[in-house]
Chains A and B, each alone.
Chain A
Amino acid sequence: MTKNPKQEWEEAVNKTVQRFPERKETFTTSSDIEVDRLYLPEKEDEKYVEKLGFPGQYPYTRGIQPTMYRSRFWTMRQYAGFGSAKETNERFRYLLEQGQTGLSVAFDLPTQIGYDSDDPMSDGEVGKVGVAIDTLQDMEDLLEGIPLNQVSTSMTINAPASVLLCMYIAVGEKQGVAKESLTGTIQNDILKEYIARGTYIFPPKPSMRLITNIFKYCEQYVPKFNTISISGYHIREAGSTAVQEVAFTLANGMAYVDAALESGLEIDQFAPRLAFFFNAHNNFFEEIAKFRVARRLWAKIMREKYGAKNPKSWKLRFHTQTGGSTLTAQQPDNNIVRVTLQALSAVLGGTQSLHTNSRDEALALPTEESARIALRTQQIIAHESGVADTVDPIAGSYYVESLMDQMEEEVEKYLGKIEEFGGAVQAVEEGYMQREIHQAAYETQKKMENKEEIVVGLNQFEVDEELHPDLLKVDEKLERNQINSLKDVKAKRDQEIVNKTLTRLEKAAKNSNENLIPYILEAVKAYASVGEICNVLRNQFGEYVG
């Protein structure tokens, strides 16, 4: 006779607790009432097991680990990066000292679109929204003194993800850290760039090839790295609804799975390294429902549609960031409260890692003080609120569970429509998702202007204020300095080796059966720049025009 799900869960708990002991021996409330690990309905009938089940078990509605935050809190991972690699390195060390547990790198737009700092297209953008990386030298400066075998690093990089991943591997090698033990995530999600975020370079087909090349390479050599972070975040920021966020993200996820299968990988070879990235917006219960629905649906898709056997392939692991577009430039301190509620919804939704936005982000990049308050917000939720003391405390809410069923139905309708287009890639090319999102964004704007939706401090409860808070400014000299240091690197490197590696890359790019990653790694180690490498690929692949 097979074990019942509850027994399975209990056994899993025992195993987990040996590896990751719970934070306390017993958890209690202020009134000394003991808090159980898990609360269950009176009867765990079939319907309960099918829809919710147990934490760490299919369909993972109640979370992907058996003990969730009783053992370990989510990773507090604040996205940071601005100006030069050296400045960003200082901010990283500061955040690590403040108790942050993972790094998250923001790159400037030229890096994200594969232009060097001295490219005319980069004019005015160098170091503005993130750190400028031209060559391996910059990456070495960025990670100076940070042991890559001890931190996990998330890099928000998409079109040139392969180049930045190779730089990370190369820095690891210089530190004596084998690539097999590197941990972290590259965003590497090109489809949402076409849909919502805009930092694409190449057309969809060669872009999908680069992505599957990374899947294959990492499966073999960098097995602990998350090779993609399939992102609903930017889709939501562009104005989608919660249902659209889940639907389009899962549809994109399926497109990557299809591409990887087509390239000859087996589902369980790469699926465990797929990660997700969602937004936490304002509607508190809908957001919690959204995270739980996404998990339940992905598990079903992976197991039933793709026949994945490894439970790790079924688990939707995700990072969350609070909703940037919900922040107001007016009365910016109110944003701390918005962020708190949004962060709480992510925690109640079972996120694996979390970035909380800073109060001043509608005005500029965050100052150090604002970034600290943002991190403190997470620490307060973790250490003071008690919400992390029992697994999935929201389960069984009549409202949330019923909302989830309705959202699931709507998501499935969208997935059906996208399938009619022939999948996400085709739907993107025909602009379907873009149109749906824009329509939703426009409606939201109108509702706000008609005051059907109240935004505190913006269309109601306004005060007269001068918006001159202390803002972070990126030094205008930075662009020139960055261009100069790129010049220095180019003067010092062995140009012959650079040319040779770039020629080899060009040749490999022509043959669609070649995996490009080893060639890119070679070029990166020769100090070829992001722009040089991307230009080789531009010449072969062409450029996408939005």
Chain B
Amino acid sequence: MGKKIRALIAKPGLDGHDRGALIIAQTLRDHGMEVIYTGLRQSPAQIAQAAVQEDVDVIGLSSLSGAHRSLFPKVVEQLKERQAEDIPVIGGGVIPAEDIPFLEEKGVQKVFTPGTPTEYIAAYIKQLVTPEEVKETTPPEKISHIGIAVKSLEKTIPFYDQILGLNLKGVEEVPSEGVKVAFFEIGETSIELLEPLSEQSPIYKFVEKKGEGIHHIALEVSDLKDRLQHYRDQDVPLINEEPKEGANGAEIAFLHPRAANGVLYELCHHRKGES
């Protein structure tokens, strides 16, 4: 074990609601961190000063009064003035979703909105401050395929095999997903066209809502079960908590698009001998 993570929990501005800040402080302590709580009514300069003096690894700001747009960026500025911009700043409180991009642009690392489990925040800080101590994650091996939702395979296949000249590897029905799929090889990866088999199919709903187009990206991994367990531990939102059977006899699982800013990722594992 390395040294303990030191966190500064601060209440900038005049807001007196400290229930959230106190709960976060105690949660982080329960996770073995050293936590300094500033108390109420701290100016951005005071917070930056305390962070430098206490040599903390991370600053957590809490505001429920609507002053976050003005105060959070000022804390980041004050850190810069003290050459301490390497201390990451995260924030929470009553913060409308639309303000989050603004705050991130101003240098706030991450914003947690009401309802975020405290365990998730603790895990996030550990990952942020001591990524080397969080269980080693091997990167996925390659892009296994790119999934494209279509209304009709029949109408779409000609573009891929005749215009692009790709090699059609096979067409197959995957009843568990309610789809019929066609695979085209391209280098070490492939393109998967998905046609819905019924109106219950997720692909049918996708096409209805968003139209035809790129649906998901599948990553090849060799440790699917362990990896899912590991993601669960970190509260990564998952659609499938356990592997299930996909096309081509592969084991697959989908991450929730919430995990990756709206991108749907599939993890898949092809056993040796298959591709």
Contacts and interface: CB of A to CB of B under 8 A. Distances in A.
B14 A122 contact: yes
Interface centre among A115, A122, A123 (most CB of B within 10 A): A123
Given A109-B14, A441-B22, A442-B23, A363 B94 contact: yes
Contact of A445 (B18, B23, B98): B23
Contact of B115 (A124, A330, A476, A545): A330
Contact of A363 (B27, B96, B119): B96
Contacts of A124: 13, 67, 69-71, 74
A239 interface: yes
A546 B19 contact: no
Given A325-B19, A449-B119, A125 B41 contact: no
Nearest to B26: A442
Interface string B26-60: 11000000000001110100000000000000000
Nearest to A473: B96
A187 B234 CA distance: 44
Nearest to A448: B117
B250 to A, nearest CB: 26
Contacts of A471: 96, 98
A329 interface: yes
A168 to B, nearest CB: 23
B97 A198 contact: no
A113 B113 contact: no
A252 interface: no
Give the interface size class of chain A: 35 or more
A193 B40 CA distance: 12
B10 to A, nearest CB: 13
Contact of A123 (B70, B96, B115): B70
A508 interface: no
B165 interface: no
Contacts of A458: 115
B249 interface: no
B70 A364 contact: no
B16 A129 contact: no
Contacts of B14: 109-110, 112-113, 115, 121-122, 125, 199
A193 B14 CA distance: 13
Nearest to A200: B16
A330 B115 CA distance: 8
Contacts of A381: none
Contacts of A128: 65-67
B117 to A, nearest CB: 5
Nearest to B257: A464
Interface in B115-173: 115, 117-119
A125 B42 CA distance: 13
A488 interface: no
A123 B66 CA distance: 12
Q: Is the interface of B mostly helix, strand, loop or mixed?
A: loop
Contacts of A125: 13-15, 65-67
A193 B117 CA distance: 28
Chain B interface residue number, banded:
20 to 34
B169 to A, nearest CB: 33
A438 interface: yes
Interface in A454-471: 458, 464, 466-468, 471
B17 interface: yes
A441 B27 CA distance: 12
Contacts of A364: 66, 94, 96
Contact of B97 (A129, A325, A365, A467): A467
Given A364-B96, A449-B118, A198 B15 contact: yes
Nearest to A199: B16
A255 interface: no
A199 to B, nearest CB: 5
A468 B100 CA distance: 12
A122 B114 CA distance: 25
B16 A197 contact: yes
B258 interface: yes
A474 interface: yes
Interface in A528-546: 545-546
Interface in A249-306: none
A78 B146 CA distance: 54
A198 B16 contact: yes
A546 B97 contact: no
Among A193, A198, A441, max chain B CB count under 10 A is at A198
Interface in A210-252: 237-239
Contacts of A442: 22-23, 26
A362 interface: yes
A328 to B, nearest CB: 6
B22 A438 contact: yes
28 contacts: A109-B13, A109-B65, A121-B43, A123-B67, A124-B69, A124-B70, A124-B71, A125-B14, A193-B16, A198-B15, A198-B17, A198-B18, A198-B41, A237-B19, A239-B19, A325-B19, A329-B113, A330-B115, A362-B94, A365-B66, A438-B22, A442-B26, A445-B23, A445-B118, A467-B96, A471-B96, A545-B39, A546-B40
Closest 6 pairs between A and B when the two form their complex, measured CB to CB? A198-B16, A124-B70, A109-B14, A124-B67, A128-B66, A329-B114
Interface of A: 109-110, 112-113, 115, 120-125, 128-129, 193, 197-199, 237-239, 325, 328-330, 362-365, 438, 441-442, 445, 449, 458, 464, 466-468, 471, 474, 476, 545-546
Interface of B: 13-19, 22-23, 26-27, 39-41, 43, 65-67, 69-71, 74, 94, 96-98, 113-115, 117-119, 258
Given A121-B14, A329-B115, 17 more contacts: A110-B14, A123-B13, A123-B74, A125-B67, A128-B65, A128-B66, A129-B66, A237-B17, A237-B19, A238-B18, A363-B96, A438-B19, A441-B22, A442-B23, A449-B118, A468-B98, A545-B39
